[in-house]
Amino acid sequence: MAANPAPSRDRLTIRKPDDWHIHLRDGAMMRAVLPYTAAQFARGIIMPNLVPPVTTVDAAAAYRERILSALPPGVSFAPMMTCYLTDATSPDEIERGFAEKVWIAAKLYPAGATTNSHAGVTDLANIAAVLERMERIGMPLLIHGEVTDQDVDIFDREAVFMEQKLLPLLTRHQGLKVTVEHATTAEILDVVRAHAERVAATITPHHLVINRTHIFQGGLRPHLYCLPVAKRERHRLALRKAATSGEDCFFLGTDTAPHPVGAKESACGCAGVFCGPTALQTYIQVFDEEGALDRFEAFASLNGARFHGLAPNAETITLERRAGQVASCVAVDDTSVVVFRGDETLPWSVAEG
Q: Which residues are annotated as a binding site?
A: 21, 23-25, 49, 107, 144, 182, 227, 255, 259, 271
As to burial, measured by CB atoms within 10 angstroms (0-12 exposed, 13-18 middle, 19+ buried), residue 151 is: exposed
- Give the C-alpha distances (Å, rounded to integers) separating 242 from 45, 93, 210, 314: 21, 36, 16, 26
Angle at 121 between CA 210 and CA 109, to 5 degrees: 20
Query: Which residues are designated catalytic?
Result: 255
Q: Rg of the chain's alpha carbons, rounded to an integer?
A: 19
Question: How far apart are the C-alpha atoms of 56 and 136, rounded to whole Å?
Answer: 20
Identify whether the C-beta of residue 72 lies closer than 8 Å to the C-beta of residue 31. no
Identify whether the C-beta of residue 198 lies closer than 8 Å to the C-beta of residue 178. yes
Parallel, antiparallel or unpaired: strands 43-46 and 78-84: parallel
350 contact partners, CB below 8 Å, separation of at least 6: 39, 40, 280, 281, 317, 318, 319
Question: How far apart are the C-alpha atoms of 193 and 177, rounded to whole Å?
Answer: 14
Residue 129 CA, distance from chain mean position = 26
- Give the C-alpha distances (Å, rounded to integers) separating 241 from 74, 259, 318: 37, 30, 24
319 contact partners, CB below 8 Å, separation of at least 6: 11, 12, 13, 14, 280, 281, 284, 348, 349, 350, 351
Which residues sit opposite 252 in a β-bridge?
Answer: 203
Q: Sign (positive/negative) of CA torsion 72, 73, 78, 84? A: positive
